[in-house]
Amino acid sequence: DLKGLDLRAEIDRLRKERNAVILAHYYQKPELQDLADFVGDSLELSRKAAETDADVIAFCGVKFMAEVAKILSPEKTVILPDMAAGCSLEDSCPPEKFKAFREAHPDHIALTYINCSTEVKALSDIIVTSSSAETILQQIPADQKIIFGPDRHLGGYLSRKFNREMLLWPGVCIVHEAFSETELLKLKAQHPGAPIAAHPECPPTIVDHADYVGSTSGILNYAKAMEGDTLIVATEPHIIHQMSRALPDKTFIGAPGADGNCNCNICPYMALNTMEKLYLSLRDLTPRIEIEETLRLGAKKSLDAMLGMAS
Ligand code: 13P
Ligand code: SF4
């Protein structure tokens, strides 16, 4: 029974005792972002995981992110407060189907979004995140054929921006898919002059209205650099916590879903992590990420390719 426990104090005590670093993604609950040692986008979090000298990495994010931490830092104990924290993009790309798709296109390389399973990473050539995809794509020779998976919206966005044909895997993020163009245009009319910043996981109906398209960190940096006082944010709304912290005098409005508010755009997987579960995972060092070594080395190759090519 955890009633009566000062969870924040217990987490602070355990993180010292265990020599643990707590990493959190911007889509986590505010209380988890506030206690984390580092909050970042997928690329920054993987870099932090690779370079930390902590014994334990407590990952407040989703499972594929914690797996990336384990792939890059295999000697560390990596814990995830709730093992059910998956991702709809990962679910949309079963490894055996991806393998068959690759085999059907042997002259293509697989450029793969980090939001996928370790198995799919091991079947890929280069991993990208939303913040590294553009730089990496530009380094691939123009005549090289590419399979891009699993996010067809990120793939489509890159394809249009760089006028580069790619074979797209048909996966989507259920969170970014839920924004409504009609409601977004209504909101924009109510805030004339307010720019829209969108994550490239959004469909073209949203991205085409955006003044800025980029990763979570990219959107945060855009907010810090913008001159106006209001920004419409088309990504998971928990990132607004960091924006309001950094820029308390500015107004950030989450882009709406079909019901006119941004609650339907909360990531149900990210939301599974709580203070209670983080406390228990630090106390018991479980749930723990374990990856079979051959599989880990396969996935590490494509992740290392990303880390080498990302600026
Ligand atoms: P980034 O933080 O890399 O922009 O990724 C967003 C996301 O959906 C993670 O699941
Ligand atoms: Fe996956 Fe979308 Fe949630 Fe990110 S926001 S973890 S892509 S389901």
What digits encode the pLDDT tens for the residues 251-270? 999 999 999 987 889 999 99
Specify the ligand 1 atom closest to the Cα of 89. 10
Q: Where along the chain do its domains lie? A: 7-85+270-291, 89-172+298-309, 176-265
Specify the ligand 1 atom closest to the Cα of 270. 10
Query: 117-172: per-residue pLDDT in tens?
Result: 999 999 999 999 999 999 999 999 999 999 999 999 999 999 999 999 999 999 99
Find the mean pLDDT for residues 218-224. Answer: 98
Among 62-66, 87-91, 264-268, name the one with the lowest average pLDDT.
264-268
pLDDT for position 264: 81
CA 182, CA 185: separation in Å to the nearest integer? 5
Q: What percent of the chain has pLDDT over 70?
A: 100
Specify the ligand 2 atom closest to the Cα of 269. 3
Q: What percent of the chain has pLDDT over 90?
A: 97
Give the number of whichever ligand sits closest to the CA of residue 265: 2
Binding-site residues from annotation: 25, 42, 87, 113-115, 130, 173, 199-201, 216, 267
CA 60, CA 212: separation in Å to the nearest integer? 27
pLDDT band at 293 (very low <50, low <70, confident <90, very high): very high
Residue nearest to atom 7 of ligand 2 (CA): 173
Q: What CATH architecture does domain 7-85+270-291 belong to?
A: 3-Layer(aba) Sandwich (3.40)
pLDDT for position 110: 98
pLDDT band at 186 (very low <50, low <70, confident <90, very high): very high
Q: Sign of the CA dihedral 161, 97, 115, 140?
A: negative
Query: 264-291: per-residue pLDDT in tens?
Result: 899 999 999 999 999 999 999 999 999 9
pLDDT averaged over every residue in the chain? 97
Is the entire prediction scored with pTM above 0.90?
A: yes
Cβ–ligand 1 contact at 42 (below 6 Å): yes
Specify the ligand 1 atom closest to the Cα of 215. 4
Among 21-35, 56-70, 252-266, name the one with the lowest average pLDDT.
252-266
In angstroms, the Cα distances linking 61 to 58, 74, 102, 201, 243 are 9, 18, 29, 17, 19
Instruction: Name the superfamily (CATH) of residues 89-172+298-309.
Output: NadA-like (3.40.50.10800)
pLDDT band at 311 (very low <50, low <70, confident <90, very high): confident
Is the predicted pLDDT of residue 182 greater than 80, yes or no? yes
Give the number of whichever ligand sits closest to the CA of residue 42: 1
pLDDT band at 241 (very low <50, low <70, confident <90, very high): very high
Find the mean pLDDT for residues 241-251. Answer: 97
Binding-site residues from annotation for [4Fe-4S] cluster: 87, 173, 267
Spacing, Cα 142 to ligand 2 middle (Å): 30
Asked if 238 and 266 count as a contact pair (C-beta separation under 8 A), the reply is: yes
Spacing, Cα 99 to ligand 1 middle (Å): 24
CA 2, CA 180: separation in Å to the nearest integer? 40
Query: 99-113: per-residue pLDDT in tens?
Result: 999 999 999 999 999
pLDDT for position 77: 98
CA 176, CA 267: separation in Å to the nearest integer? 9
Find the mean pLDDT for residues 230-237. Answer: 98
pLDDT for position 261: 84
Cβ–ligand 1 contact at 215 (below 6 Å): yes
Q: What CATH architecture does domain 176-265 belong to?
A: 3-Layer(aba) Sandwich (3.40)
